[in-house]
Structure formats: structure tokens, C-alpha cells
Amino acid sequence: MTELERQGANAKQAARRLAVSDTKTKNAALLAVAQALEEQAETWLSANAKDIAAAEEAGMKPSLLDRLKLTPERIRGVADGVREAAALRDPIGEILGETLRPNGLRIVRKRVPLGVIGIIYEARPNVTVDAAALCLKSGNACILRGGKEAIFSNRAAVEIMQRAILSAGLPADAVQLVQDTSRESAREMMQLSQYIDVLIPRGGAGLIHAVTKESRVPVIRTGEGVCHIYVDEDADPDMAATILYNAKCSRPSVCNAAECVLVHEKAAKAFWEKALPLLDTKNVQLRADEEALRILGDRARLAQSEDWDTEFGDYTLAVKTVRDLDEALAFIAQHGTMHSECIVTENADAAQRFLNEVDAAAVYWNASTRFTDGGEFGLGAEIGISTQKLHARGPMGLEEMTSYKYTIYGKGQVR
Amino acid sequence: MTELERQGANAKQAARRLAVSDTKTKNAALLAVAQALEEQAETWLSANAKDIAAAEEAGMKPSLLDRLKLTPERIRGVADGVREAAALRDPIGEILGETLRPNGLRIVRKRVPLGVIGIIYEARPNVTVDAAALCLKSGNACILRGGKEAIFSNRAAVEIMQRAILSAGLPADAVQLVQDTSRESAREMMQLSQYIDVLIPRGGAGLIHAVTKESRVPVIRTGEGVCHIYVDEDADPDMAATILYNAKCSRPSVCNAAECVLVHEKAAKAFWEKALPLLDTKNVQLRADEEALRILGDRARLAQSEDWDTEFGDYTLAVKTVRDLDEALAFIAQHGTMHSECIVTENADAAQRFLNEVDAAAVYWNASTRFTDGGEFGLGAEIGISTQKLHARGPMGLEEMTSYKYTIYGKGQVR
């Protein structure tokens, strides 16, 4: 038995306990975790200092270093997040349906945890705690496999959490960290279908594609976003410019940021007059098709075919001219990642067609794609944003981290 | 572009049309399909005759031959099934939730089709029509890859359906058949994630494991059933015997049939007195642990370890003695396939623990596992029985063949 198999078996055991734990016990464990993280902040900070030192030595970019770094204030924020998870409604045990059949069988459909959730991620140490808290609240055990850059921070966080969970009477194995941060350990997780019920990769497109390709464990794809803003013939140019500026520039590194604007040929002139001054404040680089280039001139350069499928994640924007709504719909069907798509228009018929026909998790009429987020949608918190259609779509809150089962009450019925 | 890629691209196009087709149009297409199948029964029968001739030449077992064979009566049954699909409530467009956010955004969660469903199956030609009808009703395009034994029958059925669908104003590519029935074509389907949204393998454990292992397309595992009947200390022996007999013998080849009985040591004597005479009527072969052998004597032979994990699919039954409910729960956790599990007991506390703690799609108290079925559950019809926890669990009706999307109505909101 490998180390990971042992962790998997232990997680499965823990999941059986968690599945029948009541809300009060789970909440007590979460509050204990929050308190422990604050009380033992020094331990977590000094572990983090080792990661930071190693990252500086390795020449990590300042923006990434900043994501890796913990501060007392950030730790308080993480602990508050855990308390917020405790305050959320517990989805487990909810009756989703009940039916009495003509033969007298009573069939009750009930919400249950997924079981063991594997999460493979690269990023910040706060994800370790955020993800564990949401799993715990929804009655799921988790196996966390973070990046090697954060290994000391993650170890410290998981040790603190495990002691707190145990002190609240739940199994410490509810939250486990994969110690080996090599590519091999991620591969092994993908094969562990006897222990892991669902795998959620969180990170760049490369990671997500690799997991989708290799995993035997069911996967939920998250967070790949090539999102479009379509500026319709009947768009209000001011509104379109404001929405595009927000969707592209308010936080370009996130998955709900816009990567491409589709501009109706008749709307182009009025739109760019409003949009360019805004985009210029962030020095947004434009990659435009030939028709748009005629308006944008030196302000843009010619787009290459790969630009239509790139999640830039920075201040770069692809620009495509379309002749009508049909062309916009076809372009999004071809190049979108089923994340978030937006039409800006005053024409209700065009908007309705867009809302109906675009196949994406979140389809917007006259609002920024940046709203695709568990908090913004009122789900409380999220474990990720699904871009697949199986199981869950868009922001995944606690309910989306559950399954259901049928319990059937008989009196000796046979078929 | 390969033939299958071409079919995938066409299915995607058809799915876009189907997703926005109204219930009336989809029902008209289904009724046209039912009528065409009856009117062109001769065409379908003579294609089937070719399959039957080839199968006889290849020495196919009579039981399999019978499954392959179409008759005018069976065709009427298939057509009636299509009419029943037309009569079911259309799940598409249902509003699953609506919320007005403090910032004025109106967020509507709406049920939508999954898109393109790939189905890989081995069995009877009626599956071709049943599956196509449920996909069509739920607004999904389908790519069907049946077994080579039924290729002529399947081709004829799909041609008849395509013409009928087209005559009703929907795209013929809504239903497509993979012409190549080699293992290669199944493999290629598993890689077609740009066109196929979900893959449903229907068939033996070997097929399902291969698809789970190799597919890049999200998979719903169906129909693997190693189901247990647990005869508790407080079971009514008559009821336990009747339920076991029904669960094992009423149709041993299906996935909701029982493969193993767990008998509480204190219940064993009274139970076997009632159960053996029933099982003997079908000459059920018993594979028992040593303790059970002491009661069963020559009537059984010693179970091998693989017997605990085998879906026999015939009149063979594994028999395991347990000391208490905990041992039964642990055994099911280790050897069950998360399909259907049953406790027979008069003890409500034991029953409640079993219902809560067993991790399976359907958990029964005093009723046969054979009820795990879309029709029996009141879902109308089913595309299969899911044994995974992601997306859908247990019998999958029309609702389980859908996803959802968020449509968001704004007035220029930015974040």
C-alpha cells in the first residue's frame, strides 16, 4: 500500500463518519479550526516564512510571492472565512423529494455528501484552509494536493486543522495533505478511484487538461475562462465600454475576466470612442481582426488565430468584428469555454436569443462577467467555478459539493 | 477530420437546435418516430433477420439470440415506449431558482440539456430507439455506438428515426449511429471531448471499467450491481426469504438483482429454513463462508475471495455470516458497488442506521432491490442506473439527462 493509498483508505473511513455527523458537531469543528488558526498564527507564519525564503531564492515573481505570503491580517481573514462556512446552512440531510408508490413503497431522496474530494491546486496557502472548511461543512473528507511552493505553509495549516478537528470529536483524517508535491503524486491521485469520489483541479489550463485526460476519478473541470463581451448593434456605447473595462481590467488574472470583445460592425465607431479612453488607463494591448484594425489603427496589432482561444490573464484583449448576432453566437460556440458570456444591448429580442442560445455556465445581459462568483451569486462561498455540464455548472457552493441517495421504506414488497 | 469527428461536429450543431426547440416540436418528432417504426416495421425486421442469421452462424447462445430478435409485437412495444417518452413532462426550461441580488442583478437558474450524449452499449436493438427517444425528449443530441451483433438492426432503426425527425422539422443529426463497431470506434468516442458532453456506457463491467479508465469525456458509470440483502438478527424469516428469493431469482441477469446475502448469525437457522425451499425451486448455487457451510452442508460450496466481488448475473448466490450490523455495514462498504442494498429487519433502529450509513444509490428497508428502476421509482423511463455520486445517482430519468445554466439580467452593473 502506498502512502497515498493509505491516505485514501483513511479518508474513506473519515468520510463514513462525516456523512453521519450532525451540523452542530461539524460547526464546532469549524469554529475550533478558526480559533486554532488564529491562536497558532505564529506557527503558520514561520512555516510560511520558509516557503517565502525558498521562493525568493528561486526568483519567484513579486506578484506570485505576494500570493504566497501570509500576514497576521490575512490569517484573520482566512479564519473569518472558516467561521463564515460554519454559519452557512448545512445542505446534508435535506429531503429533495418523497413519493409514495402505488405498491406502498415510500421513496425518499435525500442529500448526502459526495464522500472523498480530491483537490489538486497550485496557488495560495489560503486555498488549503478555504477548501478544507467547505468540504468539512458539506460532510466530505478531502485530500489536498497543493503546490510545492507552499508545502511548509500547507503542512502547518493541515496539522493545525487536524488537531482542531480531532478536539471537536471528528476524525483528523477528514482533512489530509499529500506530502509529495511531485507530478507523480497528482498522477497517482487520478488513479485512486476506489478511494476518491471526485477530483477538482484548480489552476491553469495545463493542469486542468492533464487531469481531464488522465483521471479515472470523476473530474469537475473548473476555472478555465475565455469569456466574451458582445457589443450588439443596439448597445448603449457608454454601458458597453464600462462593462468591457470592468470585465477586462478589474482583475485580469481571474477566470471570469473577459478575454475577447465581439463588436457589431455598426456599433464599432461609437463603442470604441467610449472604450478606448478607459482601456488606455490600463494600457490594454489589443489584438484585433483586420476590420477592427481599420478603426483602431496603431492602437492595436493584428490578432493571430491562437489569440481567439487564449486566456490572457493580463491586460491583453482580443477584438473581433461581427456582422450580426448569429456570427457572435457561432464565434462564442467555437471559442468560448462555457464559463461566462455577455451581451450588451438595448434590444430585448437579441438579448433573449443570446441568453437562450449561448451554452455557458453564466450568460449575462448588460452586466459584467466578473459577477460569476459564489459570493456574488448568493451561494455564500465556492470551491470553484465549473465549466462542464455534468453535475454542477458555474460557481459551486455547498449544495454543489453533495450527491443524493434514495432510501426506500417497505413492508416486504417484492417485484 | 475522421468520420466520428464529423458526426460529433454535426451532433453539436444539432444539439444547439434541439436546445431551443419547444416541447411541441420535440413531441411531434417522437410521435413521428413511433409511427415510422410501426409503418416501416418490415424494413426493420428484415434488417434484424440479417443480424439473427449472422448470430446463428456464429453460434450465439439462445438467450442472447432472443434478446437480439425483433418481432412485430416487440416493435409495437418499442414504438409505444417512444409515445410514452412523448407523454412525459419536458424538463427543459424549468426554472430551478431565481434571485434578485442587492445590486439589482436578477439571476435565474434554468434547466438546459446536457448537449451531446454518447452511449456505448452492447445489447438489444430496442436500446437504440429507447435511448434516442429519451435524448430527443430531453433536448440532447445522441451518438449511439451499439454492438456489432445488432449493426443491421441499428442502422435500419436510426435511418427510420432520422427521416421521421427531419419530417418533424428537427435536424436528422439529432440521432446518429457509429457505423464502425470495432473497439477502436469506442476508444475514439472517449477522446471526443470537444463534441461529446457526456458518455454513458451500458453493458458489462469490462466495458464500464474500460470507459472509466480511458475516457476524457465525462462519464456516468451505470449498471454495475453487486447488491446485498442483509438479514438482520430481528428479521422476519418469511419476509427475508421472500425478499431474497425475489431479489436473486426474479431476473438474475439484471443489475439490481442480489448477488450476496449477509446473514446475522442468530438469524441464520430460522432464515435458511424458509429460504432454502424457495431457492431450491431455481436450483440456486450457494457459495458460502465456513460458518454458513455448517448450516448449509452439501447444499453449498466454500466461497472463494473473488465471489464477494462478483456480479454473477445467474442463479448463483454468495452467502456470508456476520456477527452484527457493524460487520454487515463494513462488508457492504468494502464489496458493494454503490447500487442497491437492503436490510430486512423489524428493528427500526437497526434499519435507520443501515439507511443512513450505507453509501449506495438505493438503500432498502424490507423491500427487494429489484425495485431500483426508473419506472418503479416513478421517473417514467430511464437511460440507465448510475452507480457514481457525481451528477446523478440511481435511475436516471429525463431530469438526470439535463444540466442548468445561469442567466443574469443587468442594467449595466459592474463589479
- For the residues of A62-103, what is the DSSP string, one character each? HHHHHHH---HHHHHHHHHHHHHHHHSPP-TT-EEEEEE-TT
Residue B72 CB coordination number (10 Å):
12
pTM: 0.94
pLDDT band at residue B381, thresholds of 50, 70 and 90? confident
pLDDT band at residue A204, thresholds of 50, 70 and 90? confident
| CB contact (8 A) between residue B239 and residue A213 | no
pLDDT of A334 > 80? The answer is yes
Q: Report phi then psi at A366, rounded to 5.
A: 60, 45
Secondary structure in 3-state letters for B244-313 = HHHHHHCCCCCCCCEEEEEEECCCHHHHHHHHHHHHHCCCCEEEECHHHHHHHHHHEEECCHHHHHCCCC
- Residue A73 Cα distances to A9, A31, B350, angstroms: 36, 18, 49
CB contact at 8 A, A287 and A307: yes
Residue A297 CB coordination number (10 Å):
8
Cα–Cα distance, A34 to B387 (Å, whole number) = 36
Residue A37 CB coordination number (10 Å):
24
Strands A116-121 and B258-264, bridge-based pairing: unpaired
- According to the model, what pLDDT value does residue B122 have? 82
Contact of B410 with chain A, judged by CB distance below 8 Å, is answered with yes
Residue of A nearest to B113 (CA): A389
Q: ipTM of the assembly?
A: 0.95
Residues of A in contact with B12 (CB under 8 A): 333
The share of chain B scoring above pLDDT 70, in percent, equals: 100
Summary mean pLDDT of chain B: 96
Strands A300-302 and A316-322, bridge-based pairing: unpaired
Q: Which of B149, B328, B136 is nearest to B230 (CA)?
A: B328
Q: What is the CATH number of domain B3-221+388-409?
A: 3.40.605.10
| CB contact (8 A) between residue A198 and residue B407 | no
Q: At which residue does the C-alpha cell 456523512 appear?
A: A19
Q: Write out pLDDT tens, residues A380-399.
A: 889 999 999 999 999 999 99
For B318, the 3-state DSSP assignment is strand
pLDDT band at residue A308, thresholds of 50, 70 and 90? very high
Q: How would you label A328-356 residue by residue, b for 16+ Cβ within 10 Å and e otherwise? A: bbebbbebbbbbbbbbbbeeeebbebbbb
CB contact at 8 A, A153 and A178: no
Contact of A20 with chain B, judged by CB distance below 8 Å, is answered with yes
pLDDT of A223 > 90? The answer is no
| CB contact (8 A) between residue B197 and residue A360 | no
Q: Distance from CA of residue B291 to its chain's centroid?
A: 35
Residues of B in contact with A218 (CB under 8 A): 218-219, 388, 390
Q: Write out pLDDT tens, residues A118-133.
A: 999 986 899 999 999 9
pLDDT band at residue B208, thresholds of 50, 70 and 90? confident
Question: Angle CA(B162)–CA(B168)–CA(B171) in degrees, nearest 5?
Answer: 50
**H-run or E-run covering A323:** none
| CB contact (8 A) between residue B407 and residue A365 | yes
CB contact at 8 A, B303 and B272: no
Cα–Cα distance, B138 to A203 (Å, whole number) = 33
Q: Report phi then psi at B2, rounded to 5.
A: -75, 165
The share of chain A scoring above pLDDT 70, in percent, equals: 100
pLDDT of B123 > 80? The answer is no
Q: Write out pLDDT tens, residues A255-269.
A: 999 999 999 999 999
pLDDT band at residue B401, thresholds of 50, 70 and 90? very high
What's the fold here for domain B227-371? Aldehyde Dehydrogenase; Chain A, domain 2 (3.40.309)
Residues of B in contact with A8 (CB under 8 A): none
**Bridge partner residues of B363 (DSSP):** A407, B341
CB under 8 Å to B215, separation ≥6 — which residues? Answer: B190, B191, B199
Residues of A in contact with B216 (CB under 8 A): 212-213
Minimum mean pLDDT range among A34-43, A69-78, B57-66, B269-278: B57-66
Q: Write out pLDDT tens, residues B18-53.
A: 999 999 999 999 999 999 999 999 999 999 999 999
Beta strands in B149-197 (DSSP E): 175-177
- According to the model, what pLDDT value does residue A206 have? 84
pLDDT of B205 > 90? The answer is no
Measure CB to CB from residue B391 to each of A20, A99, A391 and give the nearest one. Answer: A391
- According to the model, what pLDDT value does residue A12 have? 96
Average pLDDT of span B51-61: 95
Q: Report phi then psi at A409, rounded to 5.
A: -105, 120
**H-run or E-run covering B24:** helix B23-39
CB contact at 8 A, B405 and A389: no
Strands B141-145 and B198-202, bridge-based pairing: unpaired
Residue of B nearest to A109 (CA): B362
Cα–Cα distance, B271 to B285 (Å, whole number) = 17
From the candidates B231, B243, B335, B359, which should be mutated to test the interface with A, based on the most A CB atoms within 10 A? B359
- CATH 3.40.605.10 in chain A is located at 3-221+388-409
Cα–Cα distance, A166 to A153 (Å, whole number) = 20
Average pLDDT of span B373-384: 92
Residues of B in contact with A393 (CB under 8 A): 403-406
For B373, the 3-state DSSP assignment is coil
CB under 8 Å to A289, separation ≥6 — which residues? Answer: A302, A303, A319, A320, A321
Alpha-carbon dihedral sign for residues B173, B179, B180, B186: positive
Residue A73, class by beta-carbon neighbours within 10 Å (0-12 exposed, 13-18 middle, 19+ buried)? exposed
pLDDT band at residue B189, thresholds of 50, 70 and 90? very high
CB contact at 8 A, B202 and B222: yes
User: How distant is the Cα of A252 from the closest Cα of chain B, in angstroms?
Assistant: 13
- CATH 3.40.309.10 in chain B is located at 227-371
Q: Which of B88, B200, B182 is nearest to B137 (CA)?
A: B88
Q: Write out pLDDT tens, residues B210-229.
A: 898 899 999 999 989 999 99
CB contact at 8 A, A263 and A319: yes
- According to the model, what pLDDT value does residue A35 have? 98
Cα–Cα distance, B358 to A22 (Å, whole number) = 17
pLDDT band at residue A63, thresholds of 50, 70 and 90? confident
Residue B254 CB coordination number (10 Å):
14
Q: Write out pLDDT tens, residues A90-143.
A: 999 999 999 999 999 999 999 999 999 999 998 689 999 999 999 999 999 999
Residues of B in contact with A408 (CB under 8 A): 362-365, 367, 371
- According to the model, what pLDDT value does residue B402 have? 98
pLDDT of A361 > 90? The answer is yes
